A and B are shown apart, each in its own frame.
Chain A
């Protein structure tokens, strides 16, 4: 199977590999997939008070396409608002990396990961608001 140059570049030089403290209030974590299925993606976003994604990190267990999809995603979400990031479609990722048809599920997983990270962040803010009210 021949992969695109962009895909191979992201695979060989993955961007933003790493981990944020997932307990951190400004961090949202999304972990999707399962080891038995051959791919697990963990995407983390660090969000400013204004609701803008300032930084992102990932780690992925999976094939080259899954690694490249998550690496690309971390580049794309930086600087976006949560609403903008939630609008990223798997088809955009598939197109950018020229994923072959059998690898489309890797881009679906990446879309699931950013959605999961955003909802984790939003859930944190809500429970935080709740705590503040309780204190008050």
Chain B
């Protein structure tokens, strides 16, 4: 077993060696596959155009979509921007109201902020403590001038799966466009766009063992969804996203999504088993709190707060394992996780949270190592913590007058 051990698959995944091998063929002179897929006049262009189409089919297949519904982008952030701004700008005459949720990714929230500056009005739903959206609250937020609802499929911090089928039923019947950020769900949760009333869906390759810098936006053809381009140029991607395609990246994403479709079921089972082993191993540590509803989440994620210990100091102690934290000290803003706070978690517990995300290359041995290390380090840091001492003495921390700074 090599250390440090990677437990941050929700941040990014390593490229699968099978994917990397395929990508390399599209870079150098050797295989003659370096061409511009938009070159219509020679075989260098044709070959690569074919490879791009093959990749498009592989991405579409994971969603049960038509390959013509897949628009290449630079990643999920761009897909989110294109979906939100593209929809808002195209349909601004119809209405100016958008509904989203407070626990969305920043790519959605910051796009909404920009649209607010442009005169759109945005409703930010507060999720239930489980992390899930109450559908009746969503329905109540919909208005005659609502043009777009944007809700993520799987949350990046706590892993809960939103009921996008039910949300789609609400939006479709009202003629509202429904965008889903599926960056964290592709390859983890089965997606069938024929069976869902989803109009736009964002994807990223690097969360699915593909390369960074490539993503896709699914844009429904029936009923046809129209968006305004954000990037103008050569009219690539049916005018929705101009710019020379990056075949090595695209082929990588295609291969990654092909593998995901073939191996998802078996992989989920194995990862679920590992997550349960981790959870079981940590269960006897006192004062730990699971963030998000595990029964309604993907098996890849475990977000857990170790009360009375600050998350960053715990990560520093766990230098042999790579995890992430909702602690303010790990973010530039000095604010603890906005996702955990939106769930109603106290600032203290948000500061004390760690996110373990498990993936394709995680082993049983690595899980056992992490469990052992956590027992040791949580104990050490609690011995250092005045809050733990007060808790042991039965002092209610809520009753203390803190000198906030």
Chain A interface residues toward B at CB < 8 A: 3, 11, 14, 17, 19, 31-42, 59-64, 66-67, 102-103, 105, 108-109, 112
Q: Min CB distance, A61 to chain B, in Å?
A: 4
| 9 nearest A-B residue pairs (beta carbon) | A34-B402, A36-B347, A59-B386, A63-B312, A63-B329, A64-B316, A42-B386, A34-B404, A38-B351
B348 within 8 A of A: yes
User: Do A61 and B332 touch across chains, with their CB atoms under 8 A apart?
Assistant: no
User: Do A35 and B313 touch across chains, with their CB atoms under 8 A apart?
Assistant: no
Given contacts A34-B404, A36-B348, A102-B332, 12 further A-B pairs with CB under 8 A are: A17-B383, A32-B403, A33-B402, A34-B402, A36-B347, A37-B404, A38-B327, A40-B386, A63-B327, A64-B316, A67-B384, A102-B329
User: Do A36 and B384 touch across chains, with their CB atoms under 8 A apart?
Assistant: no
User: Do B403 and A33 touch across chains, with their CB atoms under 8 A apart?
Assistant: yes
Q: Min CB distance, B69 to chain A, in Å?
A: 42
Query: Which B residue's beta carbon lies closest to that of A33?
Result: B405
- By size class, the interface of chain B is 20 to 34
Query: Which A residue's beta carbon lies closest to that of B307?
Result: A35
B262 within 8 A of A: no
User: Do B387 and A63 touch across chains, with their CB atoms under 8 A apart?
Assistant: no
User: Do B386 and A31 touch across chains, with their CB atoms under 8 A apart?
Assistant: yes
User: Do B386 and A38 touch across chains, with their CB atoms under 8 A apart?
Assistant: no
A99 to B97, CA, bound (A): 46
User: Do A40 and B328 touch across chains, with their CB atoms under 8 A apart?
Assistant: no
A31 to B405, CA, bound (A): 12
Q: Min CB distance, B315 to chain A, in Å?
A: 9
Contacts of A3 on B, CB cut-off 8 Å? 316
User: Do B385 and A59 touch across chains, with their CB atoms under 8 A apart?
Assistant: yes
B26 within 8 A of A: no
Q: Min CB distance, B179 to chain A, in Å?
A: 34
CB contact list, B338-383 vs A, under 8 A: 346-348, 351, 383
Query: Which B residue's beta carbon lies closest to that of A42?
Result: B386
Q: Min CB distance, B71 to chain A, in Å?
A: 37
Contacts of A38 on B, CB cut-off 8 Å? 310, 327-329, 336, 347, 351
